[in-house]
Structure 1
Amino acid sequence: MTQDATPGPAPSTLRDSARRTLLLEQQAIAALIERLDADFDRACELILACRGRVVVTGMGKSGHIAGKIAATLASTGTPAFFVHPGEASHGDLGMITPGDVVLALSHSGETAEVTALLPLLKRMGVPLVSMTGRPTSTLARHAEAHLDAGVEREACPLDLAPTSSTTASLALGDALAVALLESRGFTAEDFARSHPGGSLGKRLLLRVADLMHQGSRLPRVPLGSPLRDALLEITRQGLGFTCVVDDTGRLVGVYTDGDLRRTLDQHRDLGALTVDEVMTVPGKRAHPEMLAAEAVRLMEDHRISALAVVDDQGRPIGALHMHDLLASGVI
């Protein structure tokens, strides 16, 4: 005979615990604001003047936070990487050069693997920025700039597991990265260049010319063509529209699937129509150097699924469909 499983805590108790944790961590982050001082400015100045890279280090949970801070710095215009302090004492110190700045994290400020690096850093003349929870600690006292990430208590009910302290350090690292980003004049396009595989990079770097159909894939009929020819061209190319061009090759209008529906509502004898009589004039168009994200907005604003792409003389050189933008990851 099987026994029933021991019931767990009531859902409300679980939520109460979660709320208490989040509130304590929120308070820990809020307390950092009042402790920002001239040392924060000094830390930023040291990093902005750095000719090398920011080497971020930390042990245990602080090491995990240090790794994230290094990644955030690197992606926002400040070259940075993480070095494990234990490995640094066994050869990886060679990764640090005199032109670098070291950012060292330790909640106590006394972590042996981190403080062991102090004499070596001083000998190399590498500036040290520390981030600790104790401004009087060894690491804080030997740093050119100290960032105070202290917390009143951990969110852990035993006040032991790093929770509020790691959250505070992470937030302070973000504050440092953003201050540096703004000081450097780092732009969204700069960010995209370091994230070419991400959706942001695709939105900011891809241009219409990278995605448009061209050459034999460009749907096009001459002005004065029978409507039947325009419909055949739309069907053949499968982009839902065709360009209509004049004798000089300039775009004078477009005929779309939507236009066809309106034509069927308004005309009984399609065989007698030319495309000129029912086309949309002048038709929405894009430039090949337009950002793909701009083309998306143009399509969404006008509720269309395709665009003619024209050159500086107004001649169609390509066609862009919403499916191309979806497939590329722009949207």
Structure 2
Amino acid sequence: MSQNKFQALVLREEDKKTNASIETLALDALPDEDTLIKVDYSTLNYKDALAITGKGKIVRTWPMVPGVDFAGTVVESSNPQYKPGTRVVLTGWSVGEKYWGGYSQYQRVKSDWLVPLPEGLTTRQAMMIGTAGFTAMLCVNALQAANITPQSGPVLVTGAAGGVGSVAVAILTNLGYSVTALTGDPDKHTYVKQLGATAFADGPEWSEAPRALEAQRWAAAIDTVGSKVLARVLAEMHYGGVVAACGLAGGADLSTTVMPFILRSVRLIGVDSVMLPTKDRVSAWQRIVNDLPMEVLNGITATTVSLTDVKDAAEDMLGGKLKGRVLVDVNAV
């Protein structure tokens, strides 16, 4: 393939259905932004899976190259901060939804969206962490900013075998917290236990609506699921407990009462990684390097797929068949 040609996974809307296919593109087909990146790796996130399969209203402009994150090397940029050869990581900013994303061997983006790769981190490791791991770090930051310490009591992580949950369990464990995991699947317990979870909360009650207040069980929680699960988490919090909510794998609805908030002083904190200011991104990535043991990453990254295999992996993710992080090697087509 010529130097000016590359491959990308492209989503096109045909008869109101999403069609995903590998296409050969020229560099001049890329968006008109100020920085050209040679992409090394991306990841598969829940939002990507919804976009690729067409099962969620994620894509806002067509055609679209999905992939909400990527890591690679600057080829050229009009921003003097990003000289050729600079290794960078990108998460969020509606990339893969409104702007072309990471499932491409080259991409052109706004330099304001980039973060220089922290010292000691490879582009592969950055995407083994990816948006999910970055979001997990933000959730831990939120709990600590709310004065939740290891001495506060047990921390519940829901969706603990998923991308965000896996990294959250590993980081919390490394920081000395006692982590209880909710996976929804006993077959995933061994995997999550290896990351540091010391107990599991799985049971039939998690599919049922809770009472306004349940027995107090958790000092804090990181929730990736939403819906009935988040409602029960709130009802089971200790007095003064804190919940960092960042996902909706179980649904976007939330049927609850004010009781946990006005009788137990529970705090519900929303965590967003898409529009986070750059200075906060830089510090969060540095914290990841410090607080997530790099040797744990190989255990968290359960699957590596090529661009060709992303569609099948997306279906498996939505079907709950995957665990941990899914790395996308965009140069292994």
The structure with more radius of gyration: 1
Q: Which has the higher helix share?
A: 1
TM-score bin (small chain): under 0.3
> Bigger relative contact order, structure 1 or 2, given CA contacts below 8 A and separation 6+?
2
Normalised to the residue count of structure 1, the TM-score between the two structures is: 0.26
Normalised to the residue count of structure 2, the TM-score between the two structures is: 0.25
Q: Which has the higher strand share?
A: 2
